[in-house]
Amino acid sequence: MRLTTKCRHAVTALIHLANRSSEEQTISLSEISAIQGVSLSYLEQLFAKMRQADLVIGTRGPGGGYRLNMAADEISIADILDAIDDRCRDDRLQHFEKACPDKRNFAQNKWNEFSRDLYLYLSGIHLSHFTDPGSSKREYAHASTQRRAYEPLSSL
């Protein structure tokens, strides 16, 4: 699991979209660029990936921009990381499971377990957590319940 600067900027940009856009309204990348202090071309690269992952919809022309493709409570932080990191969720989880059988490499096995736990936790945190002030307790409670809903990778 890699939490890169790209991922951080993508999550922050979608939080901005979730807070500002509606079904009819779009937000320009130049506005997001000015708020986040990142270059427009950098955001264009990130939004191209998020558009391919169907997280956002782009509108061209005057008054164009981007909006979320679905409700904020349907987009998890892990979904955004998957879009930016170019790996699908199933491949990532299978990697964590396949990487653990070697008992000689205890530290690597534990790191893989931690990465899997973190990924599953982020799967339970949605953009709506950052938009609706009343949902923060509910979102964290859901995420901690989901975290316990799986079996440990190995019993080392």
Rounded Cα–Cα distance for residues 68 and 79 (Å): 13
User: Residue 54's pLDDT is what?
Assistant: 95
CATH 1.10.10.10 domain locations along the chain: 5-68
Return the CATH number of the domain spanning residue range 5-68. 1.10.10.10
Q: What is the pLDDT along the chain (156 residues), one digit of tens a residue?
A: 667 899 999 999 999 999 886 667 889 999 999 999 999 999 999 999 999 999 999 988 888 899 999 999 999 999 999 999 866 555 555 555 555 556 678 887 888 888 888 889 999 999 999 885 644 444 444 444 444 444 444 443
User: Residue 20's pLDDT is what?
Assistant: 82
Buried b (16+ CB within 10 A) or exposed e, 9-41: bbbbbbbbbbebbeeeebbebeebbeeeebeee
